Amino acid sequence: MSEPSPPVRRRRAPFDELAPPAGPSTTLMHGAKRPERNAGAVVPPIYQTSTFHYPAEFSDAAADGAVPLYTRTENPTQEVPAELVRRLEGGEAARVFGSGMGAITTTLLALLSPGAEVVAPEELYGGTLDLFRGLLSRFGVRVRWVPHATPDAVAEAVTPSTRLLYLESPTNPTLRVHDLARWSRAARSAGAWLMVDNTFATPINQQPLSQGADLVVHSATKYLGGHADLLAGVVVGSEELLARVDAAHTVVGSVLDPHAAFLLARGLRTLALRVDRHNQNAARVVAALADHPKVLRVDYPGRSSPEEEAVAARQMRGRGGMVSLVVRGGLPGARRLLRGLTLFHVASSLGGVESLASLPAETSHRTLTPDERAARGIEDGLVRLSLGVEDADDLVRDLTRALDGL
Ligand SMILES: Cc1ncc(COP(=O)(O)O)c(C=O)c1O
């Protein structure tokens, strides 16, 4: 006889309340405490277990939420980072996943059915593009693409079948900024949900729910974890939407292992400190290199036009730690720049304490054709920088030396 599937998540033990208003650093330090449940431990422990003992009278335990049942459905260690991100984003509920793509895929499978339409800008992370263009289209979900979306283009793309508007802001890798409040108005008027990938901004710099989004997703692999040592995803939204996501989560199985959940919670404690430094370092690099003769273009949130600068100033507290440089000499020039850097790891991904440099044409957006990349401003000579928390002077010196050598 096969085992019954675990029931969908039950009522959980509450975390201690935190007197409002608490700033982000205070929230990260005190926002997920319930020491009486953890033998008084100041640092929540790792429940490294796949399953849990439950009383013979299972229904009683289930009714009061006293015991989790199975780690694919829930585990107390996963609840700690979920609660911290929930509080930072200002949502009712949050769940963690085994990766950012796991979070995105599970949520879309939970909310969309054949015949549904999604409206999205063309500038998205390559994996998300692959999901929209491949898997989802095989299940009868159609995506209406809007070229770098002006609000009018969004409103025109919406049809009675639109269920979801999906975007990233700032975008990967050209760091364009979308007006979240306007997208949210378009979603409202269509009776659709707005889902925002907030990976690049982090909740320290931008809180999409406060701008009218219904769901926020993160690749927690990046800034939230912050140390390039784990894969994770987080989704934040209303209790009602997250209950739908739970039903898919438990069968899709993109689960955050308890040890990785512990590392994520540990990384989150310093998120506000780290993001301040990332913001400062990126701003310093832009100021120092914008006029370098080997740099043809600098991508940075708000730089592409006065309109985007106004939007960024309104909806972002800081501009984040990402900068893209289009350098002279196309792909060979970009490769030479990478070879000349000594303080940057040449690696894909972003958001860790160490600086990284990569070529999106060969990494995050390699599955696009050259024409598709060109249409999105992803030139072969575009080098994406994830500025870490090193000293800004050293990063600027390293970049300047490598650019001078081109
Ligand atoms: C903006 C963005 N969203 C989602 C993802 C996917 O996250 P993960 O690699 O954790 O699955 C990435 C990965 O690079 C990303 O850059």
Global pTM value? 0.95
Q: 4: how many CB neighbours lie within 10 A of its CB?
A: 6
Note the pLDDT tens digit of each residue in 256-310.
Answer: 999 999 999 999 999 999 999 999 999 999 999 999 999 999 999 999 999 999 9
d(CA 156, ligand 1 centre) in Å = 28
Could you tell me if 106 and 247 are in contact, meaning their C-beta atoms sit under 8 angstroms apart? no
CA distance 233 to 337: 32
User: Looking at the domain that runs over 24-268, which CATH code has it been given?
Assistant: 3.40.640.10
Alpha-carbon distance values, 47 to 15, 29, 75, 76, 327 (Å): 17, 20, 7, 7, 48
**How would you write the pLDDT of the chain (406 residues) with one tens digit per residue?**
344 444 445 556 788 888 888 999 999 999 999 888 888 999 999 999 999 887 777 666 555 566 788 999 999 999 999 999 999 999 999 999 999 999 999 999 999 999 999 999 999 998 999 999 999 999 999 999 998 767 688 888 999 999 999 999 999 999 999 999 999 999 999 999 999 999 999 999 999 999 999 999 999 999 999 999 999 999 999 999 999 999 999 999 999 999 999 999 999 999 999 999 999 999 999 999 999 999 999 999 999 999 999 999 999 999 999 999 999 999 999 999 999 999 999 999 999 999 999 999 998 888 889 998 988 899 999 999 999 999 999 999 999 999 999 9
Please report the sign of the dihedral spanned by the C-alpha atoms of residue 52, residue 103, residue 386, residue 371: positive
CA distance 269 to 322: 21
d(CA 128, ligand 1 centre) in Å = 8
**Residue in this structure with the two tokens 């070879």, named with its chain if needed:** 339
Could you tell me if 349 and 315 are in contact, meaning their C-beta atoms sit under 8 angstroms apart? no
- The type of residue at 44 is P
Please identify, by atom number, the ligand 1 atom nearest to the C-alpha of residue 102.
11
Comparing C-alpha atoms, which of 27, 23, 11, 8 is closest to residue 248? 8
Please identify, by atom number, the ligand 1 atom nearest to the C-alpha of residue 231.
10
Please identify, by atom number, the ligand 1 atom nearest to the C-alpha of residue 199.
1
- The type of residue at 269 is R
What topology is assigned to 271-404 in CATH?
Aspartate Aminotransferase, domain 1 (3.90.1150)
Could you tell me if 78 and 258 are in contact, meaning their C-beta atoms sit under 8 angstroms apart? yes
- The residue extents of the domains of the chain are 24-268, 271-404
Peptide bond into 21 cis (omega under 30): yes
Q: Whose CA is nearest to atom 7 of ligand 1?
A: 100
Ligand 1 pocket list (CB less than 6 A)? 99-101, 125, 127, 168, 172, 197, 199-200, 219, 221, 231, 233, 349, 364
How would you classify residue 175: left for phi > 0, otherwise alpha for psi between -120 and 50, otherwise beta? left
Q: Which residues are catalytic?
A: 72, 125, 197, 222
